[in-house]
Chains A and B, each alone.
Chain A
Amino acid sequence: MKNTRNLKDIIFKNLIKLLTNISILVLIGIFLSLIIKSAPILKEKSIIEILFSTKWQPFKKEFGLWTFIISTFYVTIFSLIISVPLCILSSVYLSEYCNKRIKIFFLSIIDILAGIPSVIYGIWGVIIIVPLIKNQIAPFFNASSNGYSLLAGAIVLSVMIFPIIIQITVQVMENVPRELREASIAIGATKWETIKFVVLKKAQPGIIASIIIATSRALGETIAVLMVVGNVIKIPKSVFDPAYPLPALIANNYGEMMSIPLYESAIMLSALILLIIVLAFNVLARIILIRIERKS
């Protein structure tokens, strides 16, 4: 009896060890094959040329990705500019000032919104944001726009990442020990000073983490952005111009790419580049985070 039990344990242990290692290897293998798939185009053209050229004419074998890369960054950065201040301020309000009922109510709404698929955010963008930009915002700034623009993409994205930042930030702020606040208040600090110097400071790594997670979500968001951003291959000069981020490029070109061999390779390369951007960003950010945590 004893022996069979221990035998089972050992067998199970080795099985799941195998499973863990295989899963990781398979995942790495798939990523490597992405590189193989994008090799053909890299043989024909130098990576520098592909990255920094703005010419995208698949039928003339021109596959410059710069426009798309820049658009990706623009959309992401603008969405962060909109949502980070809003989210941090609301999180402080939620965790420090507002009453408990409102907080619970609000956080459950946030929970639900965190689960809502991106198509739905896209629809909302098409119905509300696009006309709003076309009829109100753009004319107000003396610009003309059909609404499908960088700004629309950024707004939709920013709303999509609200839940991510708020959920984490509120949780992190609540985990700041009460004694710490009391100590600060006992010294004679006001509530706001306590929040500014003690709570936010202590919560800083967590807040940064939430922004990182939100950013990597924003960098790769496809459908919702694709629906409102206009998809015109030209580097946007203002927020009212249309843009064309990488994920949209990948999604839009799948149908056509089969016919031209290099085309497919170019699309796979775009996926690879997007992946590398997100990964590099993630790894870098997590290292920073570990540093900060060590310090405190």
Chain B
Amino acid sequence: MIKRKIEEIVFKILMYSAFITVLISFFIILFTILIKGIPSLNLKMITQTPKGGYYLGKEGGILNAITGSLILACSSTFLSMMISFPIAVFLNVYNKKKSRYVQVIRFSFDVLTGVPSIVYGALGLIVMYFFNLRASLLGGTIAVTLLILPLMCRGIDEVLQMTPKSLLESSYALGSTSLETSFKILLRQCYPGIITTILISFGRGIGDAASVLFTAGFSDNMPGNFLRPAATLPLAIFFQLTSPIKEVQSRAYAAAIILTMIILFISIMSRVISLRFEKYKIK
């Protein structure tokens, strides 16, 4: 009996310390970025593009990288949304759950979500060679789309799978076709989940550096043309950090705050939106 008690106490202590360690490491991350970054955070960063000698510590900002990242993430999220929603509908509405075909496709996408983003960068590069593209906003979009497509397919698929079968039955019983059921019932029922998936993918897309490293290039100008190189936030952070000049380094920290803010904003948005739409949802 005593042995049992002691074992429980020992494990409780272990659990507690593990929990505290994890918690503390998170706070350290947040505080490090904040403390290092806040001093060099200013309005110029988000309103100006780099002026001459910016990377030597002179005037300017990183508006180009912020815009570049937003455009890149938006367009690739949109692209992969257009592909993945129909795929998820096809799997869930037009096929039986246990059919071989569905299982194979699901398995493939599962495996594809595990593929590292640097590999997607290389794959994007290959697609670019194929179309004779140079490093450009379009190239980056292709790589990021490849990166988030499996994620989104499986995400939306997962959401659609959660819909109660009886809901589909109710709709069919009224004489709806599968198409009507997909767009008028399923889409409505799954709104919150789908939006959350989209936002998560967006966050993944905007924050990923490895996939755009070769494909999007870098530029000090505002992005305007999809065929030209464009700066992205993660790379701007990365390049500034590797600079030997202290000033520039601390700008990297400030840029990191901006990126973190964008991510935070997205994750709060996704919560608010999913709460909003929750009311029509059938439990």
A121: B residues at CB distance < 8 A: 29
Q: Which residues of chain B in 114-137 are interfacial with respect to chain A, using CB atoms and an 8 Å cutoff? A: 114-119, 121-123, 126-127, 130
Smallest beta-carbon distance A112→chain B, Å: 6
Cα separation A162 to B206 with both chains bound (whole Å): 21
Which secondary structure dominates chain A's binding surface?
A: helix
Report the nearest B residue to A111, measured CB to CB: B267
Cα separation A27 to B123 with both chains bound (whole Å): 9
Smallest beta-carbon distance A225→chain B, Å: 10
Cα separation A20 to B28 with both chains bound (whole Å): 44
B266: A residues at CB distance < 8 A: 115
- Contact yes or no, A33 B126, CB < 8 A: yes
Known: A221-B116, A247-B118. A86 touches B18 (CB 8 A): yes
A159: B residues at CB distance < 8 A: 25-26, 29
The residue from A23, A90, A267 contacting B149, defined by CB atoms under 8 A apart:
A23
Q: Is B210 an interface residue (CB 8 A)?
A: yes
Known: A97-B12, A282-B111. A30 touches B126 (CB 8 A): yes
Cα separation A76 to B19 with both chains bound (whole Å): 22
Tell me how many residue pairs across A and B have CB atoms closer than 8 Å: 226
Interface residues in B, total, Cβ within 8 A = 75
Q: Which residues of chain A in 243-280 are interfacial with respect to chain B, using CB atoms and an 8 Å cutoff? A: 247, 250-251, 254, 267-268, 271, 274-275, 278-279
Cα separation A90 to B20 with both chains bound (whole Å): 8
Q: What is the interface of chain A, defined by CB distance below 8 A to chain B?
A: 5-6, 8-9, 12-13, 15-17, 19-20, 23-24, 27, 30-31, 33-34, 37, 85-87, 89-90, 92-94, 97-98, 106, 109-113, 115-124, 126-128, 159, 162, 166, 190-193, 213, 216-217, 219-223, 227, 247, 250-251, 254, 267-268, 271, 274-275, 278-279, 282-283, 286
13 inter-chain pairs at a CB distance below 8 angstroms, sorted by A residue, are A5-B179, A19-B86, A30-B146, A89-B14, A110-B26, A116-B207, A117-B208, A118-B209, A119-B259, A123-B237, A162-B25, A192-B7, A247-B118
Sample of 19 more A-B contacts, CB < 8 Å, known A115-B267, A119-B234:
A5-B177, A16-B89, A19-B83, A19-B86, A86-B21, A89-B18, A92-B15, A120-B237, A120-B259, A123-B237, A127-B32, A192-B12, A217-B114, A220-B115, A222-B118, A251-B118, A271-B122, A282-B114, A283-B111
